[in-house]
Chain A
Amino acid sequence: MAKTITRQEPALGVDAELARRLLGEMLLIRRFEEKAAEAYALGKIGGFLHLYIGEEAVAVGATSVLRPDDYAISAYREHGHCLAKGSDPRRAMAELYGRRDGLSKGKGGSMHLFDRSVNFLGGHAIVGAHLPVAAGVGFGIKYRGGDQVVVCYFGDGAVPQGEFHESMNLVALWKLPVIYVCENNRYAMGTSTERALAQTEIWQFGRTYGIPAERVDGMDVLAVREAVGRAVERARADKTPALIEADTYRFRGHSMRDPAGAVYRTREEVEREKQRDPIALFRGYALAAKLVTDDDVRTLEKDAVDRVDEAVAFADASPEPPGEWLFTDIYGEPPREA
């Protein structure tokens, strides 16, 4: 059952420019994912493809309070986080296509987007494993005396995993500037949080470890922005970590191999959740608040379509990686073994 959270007046202030940016980024991610699904159906993308449709407000809201030199790291449903951080959609799409101009030269794929140029530390596909890595990024920031932060996105499925708890303990114990953002879309594949967690209010684990924690409406881009904004401010000031539980929902199946998602959740539930579509909600808000005009919205929608079309064309045109690349990027210098 969806728990709707009413948003307080945004303290961080939203002007027309920010509203256009937030809406534009969410539209871009949505369009990117829709086109990726099409390409998958055409056999242009292989393997596992996990779409972020429905969850765009989390990545966009969180990234909107980050500086370019801050870090982000995610699991395998990471296209949105990577694009929000500023990656070129053309190179992201080329990576999904397994082409040489992909962000990871075609060696990573959908689940392993990395982009050093925007401090995006990757898509990681072992559930829970990137949480300690994020703690290490925070450790490094503190070690060097920097004031950056790292945002670590993960699913509700990582919470019963030991590394979630090890990470909470370590960042609290050592006071590391890590902001853990749990995207609680209520399912880990087909397992609902009720069937996986003795404590389904994930933010409460923050209290256990003495970490400032809160639950936020993950469908409300401004609410996410506010919550992550508060966490960033604390982390910059004195390295305080945070746990933010974003209440969200994936509109599609777990991956393209679970297109309907109908066995473990009802059609009614999915339809009801689609009423919370983060893009529709924010568009409605921004129009009503006269932050954007109908014209603005049309322009942003067209921009998203154009940029993604361009990304698809770029990916299509990019050659396959050459055979020699099988053996490159394994070690820093070629080892002597074959």
Chain B
Amino acid sequence: MAVMTYREALNLALREEMRRDPNVFVIGEEVGLYEGAYKVTQGLLREFGPRRVVDTPIAESGFTGVGIGAAMTGLRPVVEMMTFNFALVAVDQIVNTAAKIRYMSGGQYHVPIVIRGPGGPAAQLGAQHSQSMESYFYHVPGLKVVRPTTPMDAKGLLKSSIRDDDPVIFIESETLYNVKGDVPEDPDFLIPLGQAIVRREGTDVTVIAYMGMCYRAMEVAEELAAEGISVEIVDPRTLRPMDTESIIGSVRKTHRAVVVEAGAGFAGMGSEIAAFITERAFDDLDAPVERVTGANAPMPYARNLEKLKTPSKDRIAAAVRRVCYANGG
């Protein structure tokens, strides 16, 4: 175990997988000479050379398509989106090509590609550079979607994503790159896709949250413990396929659930999670499932408005209290 940043954990995962498998290569804007817009690919060009660390012009659709064609014929590309906002330029390649090839070809071809980069709310970057992008992808059969919260998850899940035979959308976060945590140095350490983790055990209420919202929920849980409310926090880690069993299992134990997400609430991740909890564990619930979501507004620039857009600790705590006091909690 070593202590490293989320950024270093991603970098190590890339290095280890590139050393392990000569078919793995990295491609994207500024990944080589510039060493990554957020320095996730730092040092890769030096170690692996320009054949395997490929700088591209600004052509997201083009280089994503290049990754797909390479993947269909045997390579394992890791395509970096400078930020996921720009992946929208390539969304046709991702949704209509990468996600559909295995199905349309009746299983003859598959697309082992990872499309990774930062997404989600960032610091005062405004409406086009600061938004939760996962909802554009987790709706699509054929894609897998990962949102790694901790440095350990960043490493273990990125490695699994690279070894996975399906297209994986791997969305990191600008605000987490400097977070430090324990990371296994074992090059065989993997975290399987589709496995949630209980970040904190509790008995009164299950809070489902990932990425920045998970850290925020952990702080809230600490504070509520002083009030005598015992919060269990489940981080899905992979949004598709989602580990619904672990979430349902936790709700069966606590009988209450709050979903927290940074993205706008309408038809968001919280809607889906609340729906399947209600469908599958209705009789176990002592209160309606609550959602705490980003406001249904684009991300504003002004600092005070930006704060209003994303779920605050107060809003999370209020929702937890509401579900707990329901039925006398």
Write the residues of chain A forming the contact surface with B, with a CB cutoff of 8 angstroms: 71, 73, 102-108, 112, 114-116, 121-122, 124, 126, 129-141, 143-144, 162-163, 166-167, 169-170, 173, 328-333, 335-337
Q: Do residues B107 and A329 form an inter-chain contact, with CB atoms below 8 A?
A: yes
Residues of chain A with a CB closer than 8 A to B70's CB? 136-137, 139-140, 143
CB atoms of A329 and B65 under 8 A apart: no
Among candidates B56, B59, B93, B109, residue contacting A114 with C-beta atoms closer than 8 Å:
B109
Q: Which of B36-44, B71-79, B227-235 contacts A (4 or more CB under 8 A)?
A: B71-79
Question: Once the chains are docked, how many angstroms separate the CA of A126 from the CA of B65?
Answer: 12
Does the CB pair B166–A331 fall under 8 Å? yes
Interchain nearest-CB distance for A103 vs B (Å): 7
| Chain B window 65-95, contacts with chain A (Cβ cutoff 8 Å), 1 for yes, 0 for no | 1111111111101000000000000001100
- Selected from A114, A129, A332, the residue in CB contact (under 8 A) with B65 is A129
CA distance A337 to B241 in the complex (A): 6
A129 vs B194: C-alpha distance in the bound complex, in angstroms?
Answer: 30
Min CB distance, A117 to chain B, in Å?
Answer: 8
Q: Is B72 touching A108 in the complex (CB atoms < 8 A)?
A: no
Would you list 23 pairs from A and B whose C-beta atoms are within 8 A, ordered by A residue?
Answer: A104-B104, A104-B105, A105-B107, A107-B106, A108-B105, A114-B104, A114-B106, A132-B66, A132-B68, A132-B69, A133-B65, A134-B69, A136-B73, A136-B77, A137-B69, A138-B69, A140-B69, A143-B75, A328-B107, A330-B142, A333-B165, A335-B144, A336-B244
Contact residues in A for B71 (Cβ distance below 8 Å) = 136
Q: State A126–B103 Cα separation when bound (angstroms).
A: 16
A129 touches which one: B25, B72, B96, B243 (CB < 8 A)? B96
Give how many B residues have a beta carbon under 8 Å from the other chain's beta carbons.
48
Measured CB to CB, the residues of B under 8 A from A are 25, 51, 56-57, 59, 61-75, 77, 92-93, 96-97, 101-110, 141-142, 144, 164-166, 194, 240-245
Given A112-B105, A132-B62, A170-B63: 17 more A-B contacts, CB < 8 Å? A105-B106, A107-B103, A112-B104, A114-B104, A114-B106, A114-B108, A122-B101, A122-B105, A126-B97, A133-B72, A136-B67, A136-B68, A136-B73, A162-B61, A163-B65, A166-B62, A337-B240
Contact across chains for A331 and B102 when beta carbons are under 8 A apart: yes
Name the residue of chain B whose CB is nearest to the CB of A163.
B61
Closest chain B CB from A128 CB (angstroms): 9
A336 in contact with B194 given A122-B104, A137-B69 (CB within 8 Å): yes
A contact residues around B241 at 8 Å (CB): 331, 335-337
A121–B104 CA distance with the chains assembled, in angstroms: 11
Q: Say whether B72 contacts A121, CB under 8 Å.
A: yes
- Counting from the closest, the 6 A-B pairs by CB-CB distance are A136-B69, A132-B65, A166-B62, A105-B106, A335-B241, A114-B105
Bound CA span A328–B241, Å: 15
Q: Would B92 and A126 count as touching, CB distance under 8 A?
A: yes
Would B66 and A330 count as touching, CB distance under 8 A?
no
Distance from B115 Cβ to chain A, minimum over Cβ atoms (Å):
13
* A108-B93 in contact (CB<8A): no
**Contact B61 A132, beta carbon cutoff 8 Å:** yes
In contact, A143 and B63 (Cβ under 8 angstroms): no
Q: Separation in Å of the A53 CB from the closest CB of chain B? A: 24
Closest to B107 in A: A329
Check A104–B74 contact: CB distance below 8 A.
no
Q: Interface residues of A: mostly helix, strand, loop or mixed?
A: mixed
With A114-B104, A122-B105, A337-B241 already in contact, the answer to whether A136 and B61 are too (CB < 8 A) is: no
Bound Cα distance from A163 to B63, whole angstroms: 10
CB-nearest residue of chain A to B72: A121
Are B109 and A122 in contact, with the CB atoms below 8 A? yes
- The residue of chain B having its C-beta at the shortest distance from the C-beta of A124 within the complex is B97
Bound Cα distance A335, B193 (Å): 9
**Cα–Cα distance between A141 and B73 once the two chains are bound (Å):** 8
When C-beta atoms are compared, the residue in chain B nearest to A326 turns out to be B103
A162 vs B70: C-alpha distance when bound (angstroms): 20
Judging by beta carbons under 8 Å apart, are A129 and B141 in contact? no
Nearest chain A residue, comparing its CB with the CB of B67: A136
User: With a CB–CB cut-off of 8 A, which chain A residues contact B101?
Assistant: 122
Which residues of chain B are near A163, meaning CB under 8 Å?
61-62, 65
- Which chain B residues border A143 with CB–CB below 8 Å? 25, 51, 70, 75
Residue of A nearest to B56 (CB): A170
Chain B residues lying within 8 Å of A130, measured Cβ to Cβ, are: 65, 97
Q: How far apart sit A329 and B142, CA to CA, in the bound complex (Å)? A: 9
Inside 8 A of B166's CB, which chain A residues have their CB? 331-332
CA distance A138 to B242 in the complex (A): 35
CA distance A139 to B62 in the complex (A): 12
Given A129-B97, A143-B75, A108–B104 Cβ distance below 8 Å? yes
**Closest CB-CB distance, A322 to chain B, in whole Å?**
13
| Alpha-carbon distance between A137 and B66 when the two chains are bound, in angstroms | 7
Q: Which of A105, A121, A132, A136 is the one whose CB lies under 8 Å from B109?
A: A121
Q: Indicate which residue in B64, B75, B104 contacts A132 across the interface (CB closer than 8 Å).
A: B64
- Determine the residue in chain A with the shortest Cβ distance to B58: A166
CA–CA, A299 and B51, complex, Å: 52
- The residue on B at minimum CB distance from A115 is B108
Q: Note all chain A residues with C-beta closer than 8 A to B67.
A: 136
Which of A104, A106, A169 counts the most B-chain CB atoms under 10 A from its CB?
Answer: A104
- A297 CB to nearest chain B CB (Å): 36
- A106–B103 alpha-carbon span in the complex (Å): 10
